[in-house]
Amino acid sequence: MKETSLDDLWNSAKAPDARFDPASLAGLPEPVLRYLQHAIAPGTPLASAVRLRMHGEIKLKRWHAFSAEQVICWSRGFIWQAVVRMGLLTIRGSDRYVDGSGAMRWKLFGFAPFITASGPDITRSAAGRVNLECAWLPSVLCGEDVCWSSSDALRIRASFKAHGEMADVTFGIDATGAPKTLSAPRWGNPEAAVFHYATFGGFADNEATFGGYTIPTSFRAGWYFGSDRFEPEGEFFRAAIDSAEYK
């Protein structure tokens, strides 16, 4: 069977059938209202998918530049497709979670196998990733299946089940509602040993508005977020969003 491509996933997304109405948020905690009304302009179609283009650095023992394109189609999952440059070497491939199955497939120069991984643990970790990336598709956080809470004026949490995993995503926001941090327990093996839940998250800096959605456009992320292990051990991803298209 032909593997789902980035375009296949994007083209399968359903067109929005509703628009964002702030009145529908009545009863949510004030910090949650502040975040959602900052993230989505009134009247914006409630998208089911986003297509991102980005560039940045990824840490594979050392930091290496990459360029990438990603599609998140909430009903099915995501594909992150990238080109990583390691000196004179080029690695091409993707991380994905599509229709209940996760995989990592990377090739040196586009044809020699470099990293190939799949199976239940990879699927579970990839599902955790797409759930965290709701920050780039905030329309999915407006549904009745999302349970919101706030511990104070600058910290909110979205709890929901999606892609076979329970998610508890914590946002640190500022006085305007802009997200500054994002974190959640995620299944993984950051020590390259036994898989377990560990805190995954990161910092968001700049933001921009695309089609009515205001999202973080500069961020750095990794394991052990919120601890003193984040920067020396856990951080492995730094990226800037160049464009975002919603559907």
- How far is Cα 63 from Cα 56, in angstroms, rounded to an integer? 10
Structure confidence at residue 111 as a pLDDT band (50, 70, 90): low
Judged by DSSP in three states, 5 sits in coil
Inform me whether the pLDDT recorded for 99 exceeds 70: yes
Residue closest to 146 by CA, chosen among 154, 134, 164: 134
What pLDDT is attached to residue 88?
A: 85
Three-state SS string over 82-114 comes to: EEEEECCEEEEEEEEEECCEEEEEEEECCCEEE
Whole-number average pLDDT of the chain: 96
pLDDT tens, position by position, 216-230: 999 999 999 999 999
Q: Is 67 exposed, middle or buried (0-12, 13-18, 19+ CB in 10 A)?
A: middle
Mean pLDDT of the 104-112 span: 80
Q: Is 134 exposed, middle or buried (0-12, 13-18, 19+ CB in 10 A)?
A: buried
The model's pTM is: 0.95
| Residue 63: partners with Cβ closer than 8 Å, 6 or more residues away | 57, 238
Residue closest to 104 by CA, chosen among 91, 88, 85: 91
10's enclosing H/E stretch is helix 6-11
> Does residue 138 come out as left (phi exceeding 0), alpha (psi in the -120 to 50 range) or beta?
alpha
Instruction: Flag whether 65 is in a domain.
Output: yes
Inform me whether the pLDDT recorded for 214 exceeds 70: yes
Q: Is 3 exposed, middle or buried (0-12, 13-18, 19+ CB in 10 A)?
A: exposed
Inform me whether the pLDDT recorded for 58 exceeds 70: yes
Domain, as residue range, for 227: 6-15+24-246
The amino acid sitting at 14 is K
Instruction: Flag whether 1 is in a domain.
Output: no
The DSSP secondary-structure symbol of 45 reads: B
- Tally of structural domains, the chain: 1
CA 141, 235, 54, 212 dihedral sign is: positive
- How far is Cα 104 from Cα 79, in angstroms, rounded to an integer? 10
Residue linked to tokens 């921009």: 208
Inform me whether the pLDDT recorded for 242 exceeds 90: yes
What pLDDT is attached to residue 110?
A: 65
Instruction: Flag whether 41 is in a domain.
Output: yes
206: CATH: 2.50.20
pLDDT tens, position by position, 65-75: 999 999 999 99
What pLDDT is attached to residue 122?
A: 97
Inform me whether the pLDDT recorded for 42 exceeds 90: yes
Share of the chain above pLDDT 70, in %: 99
Per-residue CA distances from 14 to 49, 91, 162 (Å): 8, 32, 17
